[in-house]
Amino acid sequence: MFAGTGGQQIANFAIMLVLARNLGPAAFGLVGIATVFIDIFSLIGRAGLTEVLIQNQNASQQELSTGFWTSLCFGIFLGAASFFGAPWLARVFAEPGLDPVMKFLSISCVFNTLGTVHEALLRRSFGFKALALRNVTATIASGAVAIVLALNDFGAMSLVAQRIVATAWLVAALWFSVRWIPSFRFSMAVCRKQLRMGVAVAGSSLLGTGNQKIIDLLVGYFLGTTALGYLRIAWKGLDLLLNLCVVPASSVIFTSLSHLQNDAAALARAYQRMVQMTALLIYPVFLGAAVVAPELIALAFGPQWEPSVLLMQFLTLMAFFIPLAYYRNNILLAAGRADQVFFLSLVSFIVSLVVSLIAVQIGIEATALGNTIRVALVTPVTLAVIQKYTGAKAMDTIKGSFPPAVAAVGMVGCLMLVRAAGAMPSWPVFSIGINVLLGAAIYAAILFIFFRGCWQEAARHVPGRFISFRRKGGKQ
């Protein structure tokens, strides 16, 4: 999953470089508003059934088919709602271009639901190689289409085509990888049972997605599509780091933790180890990105995106809280507490809405900083709920992330001193490269000298586990 997601994100970032240099902030902002609604409708259409079927290790053909037809019906209904609601949204946001964008993107609501069951079957059997391959190929194919259209002055519709092609490709790849065909066996009783858990999961995912989407909507409504475009590019940099460092592990850990649902102690240990390993990786990566953000944005997207620099630097501060809260859904769902997943998502959404409503009145920079503030406010509640329902003690979780946090802050301090002394080359490529190499060396040195136990823990659990699997000669 790390290899597949890494390839996908690198390809996606390269594609974005070309698109950002040929499309202005307004195009990204316009499509950004539309995708808020499309993403929300797609989540509702899937109804959390993928996660429900992953947990049901012995789902029958009737249960699988029921899940498929339920999801597809939701997708068709929501696709129609997107299509016919497009003119109204265009009037609300005073953006006439939003009408055709929404109408074209409505088809993706249907496409997304066609792979609900197939994805569950693939993830349940640890078919992450196939998932990774479909993500990479979909990114490359859709990106190629978008670039051709952008170079021929199709504007925002280039991004629309990218989204539609990617969604269709993902579904086709799933059907090719999982040779399962739905039957016409539908049970209303099974449907109700699946939706009881699925609605909680979907609601939680919806609220979780809403944390970011509500910010996009508020920025687009109060500050305009250009400001939203700057924020979306800043988020692209953060998404790249998040998808490279965290998302692949999240995809695997839910399946893994589900197998530990009957052993509370093992579940807590696995969760806390994952938090520590994630902190060791993302703290230096995110904070290092904040240091080189001026060179990175200018080199990657061009000088016209300079307002995105400070926004990206503010967003990277969320790194301190990501390891502590990112896997909350995984462990709570594995423990069978979908109700608490929904509760935490609701709390997070309310906090995000309140903070964003205040911040957007100040400006786009305050809105970006508000992202970090809302995550900081919700994290203590998240840790308390996880401790109560899974036994993973909050203080133990925090202690595991403390050494890498200190080492990363020390790394940033040293890099800033070097930069202030004018010791970095002026050419962006050399400057970024030297910052990365020097930062990695400083971070590793601080861990090795002051936090030897944390260093040894990382060495034991990352390569050591892999070597032990190889020695056994098994398929693991």
* pLDDT greater than 80 at residue 373: yes
CB 160 within 8 A of CB 33: no
For residue 50, tell me if it sits in a domain: yes
Scanning the structure block, which residue is given the tokens 């995550």?
375
Which residue type occupies 296?
L
CB 208 within 8 A of CB 348: yes
* Average pLDDT of span 273-284: 85
Question: What's the CA gap between 90 and 130, in Å, rounded?
Answer: 39
> Percentage of residues in the chain with pLDDT exceeding 90?
5
For residue 328, tell me if it sits in a domain: no
Could you give the angle at the alpha carbon of 146 between the alpha carbons of 159 and 309, nearest 5°? 60
Question: What's the CA gap between 284 and 410, in Å, rounded?
Answer: 10
Concatenated DSSP letters for 330-395? HHHHHTT-HHHHHHHHHHHHHHHHHHHHHHTTT-HHHHHHHHHHHHHHHHHHHHHHHHHHH---HH
3-state secondary structure of 146: helix
* pLDDT greater than 90 at residue 372: no
Q: How confident is the model at residue 476 (pLDDT cuts 50, 70, 90)?
A: very low
pLDDT, tens digit, for every residue of 234-263? 887 777 777 766 666 665 665 666 556 566
* pLDDT greater than 60 at residue 474: no
Taking the alpha carbons at both ends of the chain, their separation in whole angstroms is: 14
For residue 371, tell me if it sits in a domain: no
* pLDDT greater than 80 at residue 125: no
pTM of the model: 0.64
DSSP state of 423: -
For residue 236, tell me if it sits in a domain: no
For residue 140, tell me if it sits in a domain: yes
- Angle between helices 394-420 and 364-390 in degrees, nearest 10: 150
pLDDT value at residue 85 = 86
* pLDDT greater than 50 at residue 463: no
Which of the pair, 7 or 155, is modelled with greater confidence? 155
Residues 6+ apart with CB under 8 A from 383: 324, 325, 394, 397, 398
Q: What values do phi and psi take at 90, rounded to 5?
A: -60, -40
pLDDT value at residue 381 = 92
CA-CA distances (angstroms) from residue 119 to 26, 60, 114, 122, 175?
34, 16, 10, 5, 9
Which residue blocks in 246-336 are alpha helix, DSSP H?
Answer: 247-258, 264-301, 308-316, 322-325, 328-334
Question: What's the CA gap between 100 and 154, in Å, rounded?
Answer: 13
pLDDT value at residue 413 = 92
User: What range does the domain containing 166 cover?
Assistant: 1-186
Tally the domains of the chain: 1
For residue 427, tell me if it sits in a domain: no
pLDDT value at residue 304 = 76
Which of the pair, 113 or 426, is modelled with greater confidence? 113
* pLDDT greater than 70 at residue 88: yes
Which of the pair, 51 or 223, is modelled with greater confidence? 223
pLDDT value at residue 256 = 64
CA atoms within 13 A on the CB side of 197: 18
Q: What values do phi and psi take at 115, rounded to 5?
A: -110, 10
Question: What's the CA gap between 151 and 258, in Å, rounded?
Answer: 46
For residue 447, tell me if it sits in a domain: no
For the chain, give the mean pLDDT.
78
Q: Which two tokens stand for residue 55?
A: 């947990």
Q: How confident is the model at residue 441 (pLDDT cuts 50, 70, 90)?
A: very high
Buried b or exposed e, range 238-273, using 16+ CB within 10 angstroms: bbbbbbbbbbbbbbbbbbebbebeeeeeebbebbbe
pLDDT, tens digit, for every residue of 297-347? 877 777 778 888 888 889 888 888 888 888 887 778 777 777 787 788 888
Q: How confident is the model at residue 269 (pLDDT cuts 50, 70, 90)?
A: confident
pLDDT, tens digit, for every residue of 1-43? 566 666 666 777 777 767 777 776 777 777 878 877 787 777 7
Q: Cβ of 446: how many Cβ atoms within 10 Å?
A: 21
For residue 49, tell me if it sits in a domain: yes
pLDDT value at residue 333 = 75
* Burial (CB count <10 Å: 0-12, 13-18, 19+), residue 99: middle
pLDDT value at residue 205 = 65
pLDDT, tens digit, for every residue of 187-243? 777 777 767 666 666 666 666 666 677 787 788 778 877 888 888 878 877 777 777
